[in-house]
């Protein structure tokens, strides 16, 4: 019986033609992008991330990572109204503006939030601060009955430079969070992060003047992502360093209301991310919804107790 295998090694074969030696295991096997303690030789077919057996999702060709699968599912999901009628395109269809999908895509909610933040910033610029006056955080205004100011400050970024920075971070962070969590959960985390910033101000600086909270809310979303990464065994050192540097900048600048609101948003955003990540598999949507509602209720309870005691 003939043996079709070559009677020389790879190194001998490569050496005859001046080629390179066989690839080393260190080059072929890399840590999984989610589980750093697991090495793998398989990469995602879309983003080329290294993925272990737990993270591999079978595709038409090869495997994909969970993040790319989530993005594709959001892009392909039809948009329906309350009676179940399809009203928006999914996949490659649907309207777009300069390549940004306006319906059915993984950045639709992020774009809407960016438009609202930009519109409030433009109103402030033209009117000399009317947007902040109507929507910004004010402890005294909240106590007088303007409860919406606990949430609406997420749309107020402040001066023009702050608006530009906030829009940039929303584009960079919001799309990733929306692709990872979905539209509803991403919006819930954003709102809770803003409420966390408002709660911190109500507890420690209730007399502070009009405050924008867009920046703090973005930090809350980053904290939520860090909590989810920790749950799945990913390295979060970079996330913690980034959050620390952003808060430290406000501390160094001596902007006390800024870093207090940011810490509040980070704590609540991190709790929201933990709720989403650690919810039981059975009835996960229900547990996540109840958990997020519970975080919001705790924030409101703390505000109420602060002024009843």
* CA neighbor of 275 nearest in space, from 260, 300, 297, 304: 297
pLDDT digits (tens, 9 = 90+) for 17-33: 545 555 555 566 888 88
pLDDT at 233: 80
Angstrom CA distances, 144 to 138, 140, 254, stand at: 10, 6, 29
pTM for the full predicted model: 0.70
* CA neighbor of 222 nearest in space, from 162, 163, 181, 255: 181
Highest mean pLDDT pick, 67-76, 151-160, 274-283: 151-160
pLDDT at 297: 97
pLDDT at 134: 94
Residue 273 has pLDDT above 50, yes or no: yes
Mean pLDDT score across all residues of the chain: 81
Parallel, antiparallel or unpaired: strands 96-97 and 79-80: unpaired
Residue 141 has pLDDT above 90, yes or no: yes
pLDDT at 215: 93
Structurally, what CATH architecture does the domain formed by 97-308 represent? Up-down Bundle (1.20)
Question: Torsion angle, CA of 169/171/172/174, rounded to 10 degrees?
Answer: 90
The upper half-sphere exposure of residue 110, i.e. CA atoms within 13 Å in the direction of its Cβ, equals: 26
pLDDT at 105: 45
102, two tokens: 């306006």
The one-character DSSP state at 244 is: H
pLDDT at 154: 97
pLDDT at 163: 95
pLDDT digits (tens, 9 = 90+) for 37-92: 888 888 888 888 899 888 888 876 678 888 787 666 655 544 433 223 333 444 43
What is the distance between the alpha carbons of residues 212 and 158, in angstroms, rounded to a whole number?
A: 6
- Domain ranges for the chain: 22-67, 97-308
Between 143 and 196, the more confident residue is 196
Residue 117 has pLDDT above 90, yes or no: yes
pLDDT digits (tens, 9 = 90+) for 81-111: 322 333 344 443 443 333 334 334 456 889 9
Please report, in angstroms and rounded to a whole number, the separation of the first and last CA atoms in the chain: 91
Q: Tell me how crowded residue 278 is: count the other CB atoms within 10 A of its CB.
A: 13
pLDDT at 83: 28
């Amino acid at each position: 019986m003939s043996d079709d295998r070559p009677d020389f090694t790879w190194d001998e074969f490569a050496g005859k033609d001046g080629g390179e030696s066989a690839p080393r295991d260190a080059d072929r096997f890399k840590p999984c992008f989610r589980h750093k303690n697991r090495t793998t030789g398989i990469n995602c077919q879309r983003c080329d991330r290294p993925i272990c057996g737990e993270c591999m999702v079978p595709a038409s060709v090869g495997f994909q990572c969970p993040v790319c699968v989530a993005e594709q599912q959001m892009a392909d999901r039809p948009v329906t109204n309350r009676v179940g009628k399809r009203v928006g395109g999914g996949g490659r269809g649907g309207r777009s503006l300069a390549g940004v999908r306006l319906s059915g895509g993984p950045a639709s909610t992020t774009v809407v939030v960016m438009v609202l933040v930009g519109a409030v910033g433009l109103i402030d610029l033209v009117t000399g601060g009317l947007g902040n006056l109507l929507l910004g955080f004010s402890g005294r205004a909240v106590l007088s009955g303007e409860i919406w100011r606990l949430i609406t400050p997420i749309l107020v970024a402040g001066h023009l430079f702050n608006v530009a920075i906030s829009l940039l971070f929303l584009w960079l962070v919001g799309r990733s969070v929306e692709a990872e969590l979905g539209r509803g959960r991403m919006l819930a985390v954003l709102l809770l992060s803003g409420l966390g910033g408002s709660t911190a101000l109500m507890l420690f600086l209730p007399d502070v003047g009009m405050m924008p909270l867009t920046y703090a809310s973005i930090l809350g979303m980053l904290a939520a992502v860090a909590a989810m990464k920790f749950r799945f065994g990913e390295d979060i050192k970079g996330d913690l360093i980034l959050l620390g540097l952003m808060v430290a900048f406000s501390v160094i600048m001596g902007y006390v209301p800024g870093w207090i609101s940011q810490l509040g948003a980070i704590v609540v955003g991190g709790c929201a991310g933990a709720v989403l990540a650690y919810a039981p598999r059975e009835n996960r949507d229900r547990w996540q919804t109840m958990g997020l509602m519970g975080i919001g209720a705790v924030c409101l309870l703390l505000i109420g107790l602060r002024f009843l005691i």
